[in-house]
Amino acid sequence: MDRRHRFLTLAIAAWGTTVIAHSGDKLPAKIQAQLADVRDFEFAYGNEAFFAVLRYVADRDTSLPVDAQLIDDWRALLERPADFRGEVVQIEGVVRRNTGWRPKREDLHPIGEVSELQLTRNGAPLICKAILTESNADLPIGATIQLSAVFVMIESYRGERTGDTRHAAILVGQAPHIVSAPTVAEPPAPRSNRSVLLVGAVIGGVGTAILIMARARGAGSSDKHKG
C-alpha cells in the first residue's frame, strides 16, 4: 500500500469510527496495581507495568477510544504523571523517528513487531514515545499524527549530542490517525542543470569582460585620432 493510499484509508477509518467509551476502557485492576508501583524519571521504560499494558492493548478486540482526553499541553504529563497514568489520552505531534522492534520476552512474541514513534510538538519541554502494537513502518518522518494511547510513565534519557538529561512521555497505542502528510520541500536542481547554469554564467561573464575591453580600446583609438 503506497503512502497516499495509506493516508486516505486511515482518514476514512477515523471519520467512520464508532466511538464506544465506557467503564470497560479502564485497565484491569491487576495492571492498575502494577502501574501504581511505577517510578517516573527512570532511565528505562521496560518495566513489568509497561509490558502488561503492551499486552493488554495488543489483545484488545476494539480500538482505543478516539474521543479520549486531548492533552494539548504536554507539560501536564511531565508535571502530573500520576494523574494520567493508566488513562487513555489523545495527543497530536510530528513524527521525528520511526523504528520497529520485537519484544524479547517469550510471552510477548505473539505480538510481533511493534513500532516506536518519537513525536514532538512546538514549545513542548519533552517528547512523546508512542509504542504501537500495529506495525507502522511506512509512516513517514514529518507526518503530523493524532493518536489515542495509554499513558504509562515519564522516562529520562540522555541527549545524543549534548548528553544532557531529557524526558519522554511513554504511551502505548495501536495505530495513529493521520492528520497531514509531511511538507514536501522543493527538490534541488539536478546537478547537470546546475553545471549548465554555472558554465553559462562563466561564459556570460567572460563575454561581458571582452566587450568592455573592446569598447575601451576603441575609445582610446578614437582619442588618438582626435589628437
| pLDDT tens digits, one per residue of 102-126 | 887 777 787 888 999 999 999 999 9
Let me know the angle formed at the C-alpha of 34 by 30 and 38, rounded to the nearest 5 degrees: 160
The whole-number pLDDT of residue 185 equals 56
Kind and range of the H or E element at 180? strand 177-180
Q: How far apart are CA 27 and CA 158, in angstroms?
A: 31
The percent of residues in the chain predicted with pLDDT above 90, rounded, is 48
Residue ranges of E strands in 47-158: 69-70, 88-101, 114-120, 127-132, 144-158
Is residue 128 scored above 80 in pLDDT?
yes
pLDDT digits (tens, 9 = 90+) for 10-53: 443 443 333 333 334 689 999 999 999 999 999 989 899 999 99
Mean pLDDT of 136-146: 92
Which amino acid would we find at residue 123? G
Mean pLDDT of 219-223: 48
Mean pLDDT of 216-226: 48
Specify the higher pLDDT residue, 127 or 217. 127
Nearest alpha carbon to residue 39 among 201, 185, 160, 156: 156
Specify the higher pLDDT residue, 184 or 59. 59
pLDDT digits (tens, 9 = 90+) for 173-213: 999 877 788 876 555 555 555 554 455 555 555 555 554 45
